[in-house]
Structure 1
Amino acid sequence: MKSFTTYKVTKEHEGLTLEEYLKTILQYSGRKIQKLTRQKGIFLNGKKVFLQRKIKSQDVLRVLIAQDMNYGVEPEDGRVEILYEDEYMLVVNKPAYQLVHPTGQTTKGTLANYLAHHLQQQGIITTIRPIHRLDRETSGCVIFAKDDRSQFILEQQLKDRTLKRVYWALVKGIIHPSSATIDVPIGFHPTMANRRAVREKGDPAITRYRTLQNFSETSLIELQLDTGRTHQIRVHLAHIGYPLIGDGMYGIRTSWLSRQALHASSVSFNHLKSQQPITVQAPLPPDLIRAIDFCCSEKKS
């Protein structure tokens, strides 16, 4: 049986075309509207309707709810730490060394596989939709949408910077200035396909940072991304001369930390229904707490 979501048009939206209402007020993507039209999944006051029809106050709109038939990945039993969940989305705390989603030859053991199993146990069938990704060695907050409309809205929040991502990092050196904005483009590395580099004709990339604490030879900093380029934080920090501790590709490896010292500490967004601001935090994992303690002890000695 088909399921529908029902909306009642308010006076403030009277005069909009149905297409304008779907796109700007209900935030359905153009692709989704086309799909709904093909599926005959849009009804106004119980009747099929043209998208250019102007709507009136108290009109009742019914929109087909797409039913996902699978998860897009193979469900696999594994630990998932959920930091936040509602009917539209989840925020999950990713441990270091785990991939967000299957890629290349890796099809199992990812956060998406474990999350699919978690939802399966609740009787929920929905495609696993990560809104952003973290490198394998990076820990912390990852956002997943539960349906394609929620995915579109969250991606729009990410695009207009309503959705904010904050990271903590340990870097080599006493960073100066103590806070600044790094605004240099990033593109593919000229000789190494798996790397990125600062390139004059690369994609715009903006990272903001501020110092949280200085140690004898390292700094603990907080970073916020305005864009989401591959390896953005790592490339930008290396570019300004304060490479990420533990980063074997752009930074420096160290004996006292076995992975890159980068943690997605929080995400902030507007609730998809109420529009109330929400901030979700992921606690620092034990290895980074130990790394910070090590830096503190070095400063004291």
Structure 2
Amino acid sequence: MKVFTAYKITPEHESLTVESYLKQVLLLSGRQLQKLTRQNGIRLNGKRVFLQKKLESNDRLQVMTLADSGYGVQPEPGPVEILYEDDFLLVLNKPPKQLVHPAGRTTGGTLANFLAYHLQQRGLITTVRAVHRLDRDTSGCVIFAKDARSQSLLEQQLKSRSLKRAYWALVQEPPNPPAGVIDAPIGRHPVLPNRRVVTPDGAPAVTHYRTRGTSAGGIALLELTLDTGRTHQIRVHLAHAGCRLLGDGMYGQRTPLIPRQALHAATVSFRHLAANHTVTVTAPLPCDLTKAMNTALVELQT
């Protein structure tokens, strides 16, 4: 049975073609349009319509929901901590030492595998779509979209910076000044393919930071927000600024305080996809980071 969603055309969108509306307003991909066309999944005022038909105010455009046929990953039983869920997305709390999704030789044990099993047990068949990524060692908030359109809308929020992410980090030396912006382009390492470096010909990368506390031994607790989402951005920028991330074996140095990089995706904030309000989700600090903070005697400053 085909399921359609109806959209009433407003004056600001009249004179757009059906194709332009689907791509620019609903953010559907070319591949999705092909599927809809093959399955007669686009109707205008209850009738089949050509993609080049121009829309008029108060037209009723009906678009078929493209059902997923699988999860995209192998469902696997495992713990899933849901911090927030609505009809369009889930926000999960990723533990440290776990990949967001299968990569390289790792095909199982990821957050995506566990989420697929969780959805399967609920009788929901939907492709597991991570809207953004976290490094294996980084803990905290990860957003998963429940369908392709929601993924497109959330990716648009990422691009426009209305989807915001905040991180907590323990660093080996306090930054100077204690608050500021690191604006330094990031590109691939010329020799080591898995690493990134600050380089003039890299992609633009901007990180905002604020010192929230320091210890007698010089360790600092930082709050960081991102304007961009480059691979290893926080780790590379902190190393570039001379305040390396605690426990980071790639860009900093190991420490007995914590067995992984001391980085936590504390909050995500985004516009609700069906209502005009902002949703903010917070992930609690994991035990290893809390222990490291307590050991380092970091005193939070509000």
Give, as a single letter, the amino acid of the residue that structure 2 aligns with 1:244.
L
Change (3 A) 1:181 1:31: farther
Structure 2 counterpart of 1:177: 177
CA–CA distance in structure 2, aligned partners of residues 58 and 189 of structure 1: 54
Structure 1 counterpart of 2:62: 62
Q: Give 4+ residue runs of structure 1 displaced > 4 Å after superposition.
A: none
Structure 2 counterpart of 1:209: 209
1:31 deviates by: 4.1
Matched, 1:249 2:236: no
CA–CA distance in structure 2, aligned partners of residues 191 and 17 of structure 1: 48
Cα pair 2:219 2:298 within 8 Å, conserved: no
1:199 deviates by: 1.3
1:9 deviates by: 2.6
Structure 1 counterpart of 2:73: 73
1:30 deviates by: 4.3
Q: CA RMSD in A?
A: 1.7
TM-score (norm 1): 0.95
Cα deviations by residue, 1:63-111 (Å, 9 ceiling, x for unpaired) = 1111111101111111100001111111000000011001111111100
Where do 1:51-200 residues align within 5 Å? 51-200=51-200
Give, as a single letter, the amino acid of the residue that structure 2 aligns with 1:234.
R
- More off after superposition, 40-49 vs 99-108: 40-49
Cα pair 1:168 1:262 within 8 Å, conserved: yes
Cα pair 1:174 1:215 within 8 Å, conserved: no
CA–CA distance in structure 2, aligned partners of residues 155 and 268 of structure 1: 13
Structure 2 counterpart of 1:228: 229
CA–CA distance in structure 1, aligned partners of residues 194 and 12 of structure 2: 51
Equivalent position SS for 1:296 = coil
CA–CA distance in structure 2, aligned partners of residues 38 and 178 of structure 1: 57
Cα deviations by residue, 1:176-202 (Å, 9 ceiling, x for unpaired) = 111111111111111111111111111
CA–CA distance in structure 2, aligned partners of residues 208 and 297 of structure 1: 21
Change (3 A) 1:194 1:11: closer
CA–CA distance in structure 2, aligned partners of residues 280 and 29 of structure 1: 29
Cα pair 1:14 1:57 within 8 Å, conserved: yes
Structure 2 counterpart of 1:271: 272
1:59 deviates by: 2.0
TM-score (norm 2): 0.94
1:297 deviates by: 7.1
Cα pair 2:213 2:299 within 8 Å, conserved: no
